[in-house]
Amino acid sequence: MKEAWTVAIESLSWMELQGLSERLALMKTVKQLRLKYSAAIGLAHKLVYETLRRKSFIDRFANIALAPHSLEHYTLGVRAFLRLYIYQTKFVKGGFKNAVNIANIGRSILGWRDLQEVEEALGKILKMESKSILKGLDLEERIGLVTGHPTWFVSYSIQLLGENEALRFLESSNRLLPTYIRINTLKGTKTSLLRRLTEDGIVPEEVKQLRYTYKVIETTKPLVKTDSFRNGLFYIQDKASSLAVEVADPLPGMTVLDICAAPGGKTTYFAQLMKNEGTIYSIDYSKRRMRIWDTETRRMGVKIAVPIVFDAQISFPLKISADLVFLDPPCSGTGVFSRAPSARWRITKDSVNAMSAIQWRMLNESVKYVKEGGLLVYSTCSITVEENEMIVEKLLELHQELDLVDTTPKLGVSGLRDLTKCQRLYPHMHDCSGFFVAKLVRANS
C-alpha cells in the first residue's frame, strides 16, 4: 500500500510540475524509484487515473475544506496526497479506520511536518457530504463536477449532442472501454491465429462489421506478455482505428502515404490488407515514436514500409503520386478522455482551435500527393466539429477537384453539418474511442 501511494503521489506531482501525461509520469516514477512490485504499480495506476477522472470535483471539495486557504497554498506532494485522500474516502469509502490508515501512510511518505498543516482539513473532509459542494451551481457546472469535465466542454457537448445524449457521452468518459485487438494475417490464417490466441488464454469476440478486429472478453495474462503478442500475431488497436483503415481500403500493389504514422497501428494494417505488396511511406515528426514504429513493423512482419522522420506541416521530402494518402493528425483527443483523463484538464477551446490550424496545414499539404483518381482519408480521435467537418468543408471549398465519398463499412453515425458521407463514432454509442473519418477522391482531369 505504501509503495502504491508513493508512486501515485510522485506521479501526480510530476504531472503538475512538468505537464506529463499519466502514462509518462507513472513510467518516470517507477523507473526513478526502481520498483518492480507489479501489484503496487497496478494499484498506483488505478489511484492516479481514477483521481484524475474526478479532478474538478476533488479540487472543489479540497478547497472548501482548506478554506481560507486553497490547494495552491501547499506543496505538490501535499496537493497530490489530498486529492488521492479525497478520492479514496469519498469514492471508494472504507470508513474511519481506512481514513486513519491512509493519513498514516501519507505521514510516512511526506513526513508529519508537511501534513501537519492540513490535519484539520482531513477531518473536515470525512464529515463533509459530497452533495454539499454542488449547491448554488448552474446545471452545466454541476454536470461538469459530477462527470469530471471542464464546464466549457460540458457546454460544447450539449450544443453538439443535446442535453441527454451529451450526459451519456460525458458519463462514458468515466468507464473503461473494451480492449480490441486486430489479428495479423501476415502471420497466418484467421483460423490458425484464433487457435493460437486461445492457447495463450485470450478469449476474443469478433466485431462483425470489421474484417480482423476482435474484442477481448478475457485474458489470463497481460496481452503484451503473451507469446502471440511477441510473435506479432495481433496488434492492440481500437476498433475505431481499425475502421478508419478499412474505410481507406488499401489494395496490394498500391503506393500509400501514411502521414503521422507512429506508433504503427495504421502502417501495419495497411501492409496486412496490401498483403505486403506495394509501398507504404510512413511519415512522422517524432524520432521517439518512430523508434516504436520500427519495433512494431518488425514485430508484425511488415516488409513494404519506408520510415521518414519529417514535420508534415511543411512540404514533404518526396516526389510521389500516391494511390492513397491517409492523414491521422495530432488532435485534441476529446474522443479518448476515458483513456487519458488528464487531457480533459489540459484541453481548452483555444487549444482545439490551435489543433485545427495544425490539422488544416497538414491536410492541405497532403492533397498535393494524391494522384488523379486517388484517395485521401482523414481521421481524428476528436468529436469537435472544428477539427473534423469544418476542416473537410474548407478543403472541399478550396479544392474543387476533390469529392466526398461514402465511408464503408458502416460502424458509426453520419457526420454533422450535412456531411453525411463522413462517419462519427462515440464511446457511449459504439463502445470505442470517439472518432471521425472522411474519405475523398481526386477527380481525373
Q: Which three cell numbers stand for residue 415?
A: 457526420
- pLDDT at residue number 445: 67
Question: What is the C-alpha separation between 169 and 77, in angstroms, rounded?
Answer: 33
Which pTM was predicted? Answer: 0.92
Q: Which three cell numbers stand for residue 228?
A: 502471440
Question: What is the C-alpha separation between 439 and 445, in angstroms, rounded?
Answer: 19
Q: Which of 268, 325, 321 is nearest to 299 (CA)?
A: 268
- pLDDT at residue number 374: 97
Would you say 437 and 422 are in contact if contact means Cβ atoms under 8 Å apart? yes
Q: Which three cell numbers stand for residue 126?
A: 470525512
- Strand 180-183, strand 213-219: pairing: antiparallel
Q: What is the largest CA-CA distance in the chain?
A: 76
Buried b (16+ CB within 10 A) or exposed e, 136-155: eeeebbbbbbbbbbbbebbb
Question: Which class is 239-442 in CATH?
Answer: alpha beta
Distance of CA 275 to the CA centre of its chain: 29
Can you list the alpha helix ranges (DSSP code H) found in 227-377?
Answer: 227-230, 239-248, 265-273, 287-299, 343-346, 349-366
For the question of residue 381 being annotated catalytic, the response is yes
Question: What is the C-alpha separation between 316 and 368, in angstroms, rounded?
Answer: 10
3 state SS of 256: strand
Active site residue: 331, 381, 422, 432, which one?
A: 381
Q: Which of 445, 434, 429 is nearest to 374 (CA)?
A: 445
Q: Which three cell numbers stand for residue 165?
A: 445524449
Would you say 259 and 377 are in contact if contact means Cβ atoms under 8 Å apart? no
Tens-of-pLDDT digits for all 445 residues of the chain? Answer: 888 899 999 999 999 998 889 989 998 988 888 877 778 888 899 999 999 999 999 999 999 999 999 999 999 999 999 999 999 988 887 767 788 888 888 888 888 888 888 888 888 888 888 888 888 899 999 999 999 999 999 999 999 999 999 999 999 999 889 999 999 999 999 999 999 999 999 999 999 999 999 999 999 999 999 999 999 999 999 999 999 999 999 999 999 999 999 999 999 999 999 999 999 999 999 999 999 999 999 999 999 999 999 988 887 778 899 999 999 999 999 999 998 899 999 999 999 999 999 999 999 999 999 999 999 999 999 999 999 999 999 999 999 999 999 999 999 999 999 999 999 999 999 999 999 999 999 997 6
Would you say 296 and 264 are in contact if contact means Cβ atoms under 8 Å apart? yes
Would you say 170 and 143 are in contact if contact means Cβ atoms under 8 Å apart? yes
- pLDDT at residue number 426: 97
CATH code for the domain defined by 2-134: 1.10.940.10
Domain ranges of the chain: 2-134, 139-172, 180-236, 239-442
Question: What is the C-alpha separation between 443 and 400, in angstroms, rounded?
Answer: 9
CATH code for the domain defined by 180-236: 3.30.70.1170
- pLDDT at residue number 222: 92
- pLDDT at residue number 285: 92
